Chain A
Amino acid sequence: MPDSLSGDSLGVRFEKRLRKSESLVSGPVIAEASWFNWNRLNILLLVLLFYATVMYMVRRTKAGAPLRFRRIAGIDAIDEAIGRATELGKPVLYVPGTQNIENIQTIASIQLLTSVASKAATYDIPIIVPLNRAFMVSVGEEAVKQGFLNAGRPDAYMRDNIRYLSDEQFAFTSGVTGIMMREKTAAHSYLGAFYAESLILSETGFVTGAIQIAGTANTHRLPFFVVACDYTLIGEYFATSALVTRMLK
C-alpha cells in the first residue's frame, strides 16, 4: 500500500524512507567561500577574447597598418551643420544623451563633443550643451574646454553654455526645447542614449528649421530620429568618435 493511503504522518513516512536508504552518514563539514565563480567562466573568456582583439588592433595600428573607414554622411554633416550655424550667426546645440557617464553611449558622445566644440571654436560659434545629469557638469565642461583649447581659442570658451537642467526626463526635455525656441539654435546634435524625449526634441528642432544630426544605439528610438532629423547615425557613432577624435593615433 502506498504511504499516501496508509495514513502515516509525514514524519513517519520520512523515517521509513530514511531507513531504506543506504547512504553513509558523513561528519560535519565547514563551508569555504569560493574564489572563482565557475558559472561565469564563459563570460570571462569572452571578455579576455574581446580585450585581446582590441589590444591586437591597437598595436597593429600603431605599427602603421592602414585603417579603412567607410565614409559616414553624418560626420560630413557635422561640418555642414556648424558651417550653417556660422552663416546664420546662431549657436550650436549639442545634447549628449540623457544617461550618466557610466553609459557607453555617453562616453562616446563626450569624445565627439570635444571634436564638435573644437570645430565650433574654429568658426567662433557658441556651443550650448544642456545636461541631464549633475555628474555630467564637470565632464561636459572639461570636454568643451578641451575642444576650445585644441582649436587654439581658450578665450572663446563660455562656461555658462554648459547647462545642467534637471535629472528628470521631461523637465530636461522642456528645458532643451525652451533653449531651441528662445535662442534659435541653428544646428542640433543629439548623440547618446535617448528615450521618449527623442521625438519631442527632434520635432521641435525640425519646427525651428535647424539642421539636425542624431545618433543613438537605442534602436527603438532610431525611427523617430530618422523621420525628424537630417542625418542619423545608426549606432555607428561609436566608430565615429574614434574616427573624428583620431584616438587610435
Chain B
Amino acid sequence: MKREIPILITLVFGVFMIVQFFIPHPVVNEIANRLQNWAIIVISFSYVLGSANILRINGELVYRRGPGWLYKLVLVIAFFLMVIPGMFFGIAEGTWTNDYLFTYTYVPLASTMYASLAFYIASAAFRAFRSKDVASICARGYRLGSDAWSDSRKPVIWDDYRRSSTG
C-alpha cells in the first residue's frame, strides 16, 4: 500500500495532464493550472531540502575541520550572504540583493567561468586535430578546405565597413 498509493496518484495526475493537452475546455484548464501551481509549491519545498543538504554536508566538515574545510567555509558564508539579504530585502530588480550580490558579483563570476571555456576548447581542439593518423589529417584538410571555400564566398567585412563609413 505504501508503494501503490504514490504510484496511483502519479498515474492519475500524469494521465490527466496528458489528456488536458487535448481538451481546451475552461474547466479542465482551470484544474490543470491549479495542479501546476501545486507542483510549483512542492518544488519550492525542495529548496529547503537542498539548503539542508548543503548545510549538513559542508557545515559538518567545517565544524570538524575536515579536508578542504576552508572551501566549505567559503560556501557556507556565501550561502548565508545570499539567503539572508534575499529574505529581508527581497530579490526584485533594484534591491541590494539583486543588484550587488547577483548582478555585480555572481553574474561576472559566472561569465568568467563561461569565458574560460575558450581555453578548454583550445586544449580539446589541439588534441582532436593533432595529425596522429591519416583519418585526422584528412579531417583537418577537409575542414581547412571547406573553411577557405566558404570564406572566399563571403563579402569582406572590412570593405563593407569602409563603404558604409564613407557613405
Contacts and interface: CB of A to CB of B under 8 A. Distances in A.
Interface of A: 33-37, 40, 43-44, 47, 133-135, 137-138, 160, 162-165, 168-171, 173-174, 178, 182, 196, 199-200, 203, 224, 227-228
Those 9 A-B pairs whose CB atoms lie nearest each other, nearest first: A134-B50, A170-B113, A135-B46, A170-B110, A164-B50, A164-B53, A203-B120, A134-B46, A227-B124
Nearest to A33: B25
B67 interface: yes
Contacts of B123: 203
A163 B68 CA distance: 15
Interface string B47-79: 101110110110010000001100100000000
B23 A35 contact: yes
Contact of A196 (B49, B114, B125): B114
Contacts of B60: 160
Interface of B: 18, 21-27, 43, 46-47, 49-51, 53-54, 56-57, 60, 67-68, 71, 106, 109-110, 113-114, 116-117, 120-121, 123-125, 127-128
B68 A182 contact: yes
A196 B114 CA distance: 8
Contacts of A35: 23, 25
Q: Say what secondary structure dominates the interface of chain A.
A: helix
A205 B54 CA distance: 23
A135 B45 CA distance: 8
Given A44-B22, A199-B117, A160 B68 contact: no
Contacts of B49: 134, 137-138, 164
22 contacts: A33-B26, A33-B27, A35-B25, A37-B22, A44-B22, A134-B47, A134-B49, A134-B50, A134-B51, A135-B50, A137-B50, A137-B53, A163-B53, A164-B53, A168-B106, A171-B110, A178-B71, A196-B114, A199-B117, A199-B120, A199-B124, A200-B117
B124 to A, nearest CB: 5
Given A33-B24, A203-B123, A137 B46 contact: yes
A182 B114 contact: no
A203 B124 contact: yes
Given A134-B47, A134-B49, A182-B68, 11 more contacts: A33-B26, A36-B22, A36-B24, A37-B23, A134-B50, A137-B46, A170-B114, A182-B71, A199-B117, A199-B124, A228-B124
A199 B23 contact: no
Contacts of B109: 170
Contacts, number: 83
Greatest chain A CB density within 10 A among B50, B54, B123, B127 is at B50
Contacts of B51: 134
A168 B23 CA distance: 36
Greatest chain A CB density within 10 A among B26, B43, B67, B124 is at B124
Contacts of A227: 124-125, 127-128
Contacts of A160: 56-57, 60
Given A164-B54, A168-B106, A138 B26 contact: no
Contacts of A169: 110
B18 to A, nearest CB: 8
Contacts of B56: 160
A38 to B, nearest CB: 9
A224 B128 CA distance: 10
A166 B104 CA distance: 18
Contacts of B18: 47
Contacts of B25: 33-35
A200 B57 contact: no
A33 B109 CA distance: 51
A171 B75 CA distance: 11
Nearest to B125: A227
A150 B121 CA distance: 40
B70 to A, nearest CB: 11
